[in-house]
Structure 1
C-alpha cells in the first residue's frame, strides 16, 4: 500500500522570479543572435513553467510523473514542482454524506427504514487516489454497508426488555457505526469524524401493527404502575387505621375495605360511593 510522502517543490514566487530572469535572458540571447543559448534557455523556461501549480487552503496536490507517485504537496499557495507531471487535487475539508433511506431487517427480522449522515475527511491523499477507485463512491458504498450491518445487530425496540435498541440507544449505536465505518474506510485514507442516524422507522407494511404493539406495551406498563401504587396506598391506610385504633377490622371487613379501595383507585372511571347509614334493627 502506498504511503503519503512529501513531494519536491519550490516556493512559487521564487520560481516565477527565476523563470522571469531566464525568460529575459532568452530574449536577449535571441536578440544577440545566440540562438543555441537562447534555445536552451527557452527549454529551461518551459520546463520550469510546466511545474507551476496552485494549492488552495485545505487541499492537497498529488504529483504523478510518468506513472510514478512522486509525493504530495500540502502547503497552500503557488509552488513549482516536478515539471511535466500529472497533478491531482484532493480536498482535505470536512464533508458530509447523507445515505439514502434503506429498508433492512433488525435482529428480530422486523423490516425497518434507516438512514444516517456520515462526517468524514481525507487524511491520506495517496491512499485516496491509488488504493481505491473513486474514493467518494467508495465512502458511499461502504457507509451504506456499515449501516446495514449495524442495523441487523439490534432490535428496533425492546418493548420493556433490558437490551440495546436502535431507537432507545442512539448514542451507542452511532458510536458502533463510527467504529465500523472507520475500519472499512481506513484503506482509503479517510477519517470518520462522526456517524449519526437521521431516520429510523418501521417499514410501512408493519408500521400500524407495531404502533398498536407499542401502545399495548405502554398501557400494560402504566396499569402495572397504577396497581403497585394502589396496593401500597391500601396497605398504608389499613396500617394507620389499626395503629391509631380508629376501628377494629376483622378479616372480612379488611377484605371488603381492600376491595373497595382498590376498585376506587384502579378504576379508569370515577367510582360512585355507596353510603351505609346502618340497618333499621340494631
Structure 2
C-alpha cells in the first residue's frame, strides 16, 4: 500500500470541554469522598490529554498505531485523536531548493559548473513518510544526480559545427523541461510534486574558462568577418555592374582586378584606408 488516506479527527475543543467537566467532577469527588481512586482516574485523564494536537495551514499529521498507518489529517485546527497514535508532522508548503554548484563534464567532455533551482512540495504524505528515509535529503541527493545526468546529455555550447544541436547555453527552454521531467520522475517515489526546476548557474570550470572565452571570441570574429566579406563582395559586384551599365568606364581584366582589390581593402579592413592620389594613368 502506498496510497495516502485522509482521516477526520475529533474537534479538540469538544474533547477539551468534556475532559474539563470530568476533571472537575473527579476533583469534587476526591474532596468529598477522600478516596484515592480518583487520583488514578486523574492520571488516566492526563494520558488522554496526549491525544490533543494542532494542524497549521498547509501542514499535515501522519497517524501511525503500533506500526500500522491509519491515515493523514490535513484539516487545519485543534483536534483530538487516539492517544496511542504516533503523529509525524509533514509540511505541505512549497519549498525552494538552491543546489550547490557541482563540477561535471558536458556531452563533449568540457568541465563546467552548474546548479539548479527547484521548487517542490509534498503531494503524497504516505510515500514521503514511509517509502523513503528522510525525504528532504532524498530531494537533495536526487536533484544533484539529475543535474549531473542532464549536464552529460548536452554540450555547453556549439561553435562552427553542430549549429542545430540543442545546448545548455542556447536551449534553455528545452533543457529546463528535460531537467524538470527527470527530477519529477526521480522524486515520484517520495510523493514529491515538482512545481518548477531550472538551471540557476552555468559556466565553464575555471581551469578552461579563459581558453573557451578566447575560442568563443575567435568564432565570433570569424562569423563577423564572414558577414563583412559577403557584404563587401555584393557591394563590389553592384559597383562594377553599375559602372559598366552606365558606361562610366570600360574595364579590362587588369582594371577589374585592381578595383576589386582596392574596394575589398577599403570595405574589409580594420582601419580606415589612406587614399593615394594617382596623377598619371591607371597603369603608371
Q: 1:177 aligns with which of 179, 182, 199?
A: 179
Q: Does 1:66 align with 2:35?
A: no
Quote the Cα distance in structure 2 between the aligned partners of 1:35 and 1:6: 43
- Structure 1 runs (4+) deviating above 4 angstroms are 34-44
TM-fit CA distance, 1:150: 0.3
TM-fit CA distance, 1:253: 2.1
Q: Does 1:117 align with 2:126?
A: no
CA contact (8 A) 1:50 1:83 kept: yes
Quote the Cα distance in structure 1 between the aligned partners of 2:41 and 2:8: 22
What is the DSSP-based 3-state SS (H/G/I as helix, E as strand, rest coil) of the residue aligned with 1:273? Answer: coil
Normalising by structure 2, we get a TM-score of 0.91
Normalising by structure 1, we get a TM-score of 0.91
TM-fit CA distance, 1:218: 1.0
Consecutive unaligned residues in structure 2, runs of 5 or more: none
TM-fit CA distance, 1:40: 8.7
TM-fit CA distance, 1:38: 5.0
What is the DSSP-based 3-state SS (H/G/I as helix, E as strand, rest coil) of the residue aligned with 2:274? Answer: coil
| Structure-2 residue corresponding to 1:95 | 95
Quote the Cα distance in structure 2 between the aligned partners of 1:90 and 1:40: 35
CA contact (8 A) 1:22 1:41 kept: no
| Structure-2 residue corresponding to 1:251 | 253
Quote the Cα distance in structure 1 between the aligned partners of 2:181 and 2:95: 18
| Structure-2 residue corresponding to 1:127 | 127
Consecutive unaligned residues in structure 1, runs of 5 or more: none
Q: Does 1:82 align with 2:82?
A: yes
| Structure-1 residue corresponding to 2:204 | 202
| Structure-1 residue corresponding to 2:16 | 16
What is the DSSP-based 3-state SS (H/G/I as helix, E as strand, rest coil) of the residue aligned with 1:89? Answer: strand
Say what the alpha-carbon RMSD is for the aligned residues: 2.3
Quote the Cα distance in structure 2 between the aligned partners of 1:119 and 1:52: 33
Count residues with an aligned counterpart. 281
What is the DSSP-based 3-state SS (H/G/I as helix, E as strand, rest coil) of the residue aligned with 2:277? Answer: coil
CA contact (8 A) 1:61 1:72 kept: yes
| Structure-1 residue corresponding to 2:49 | 49
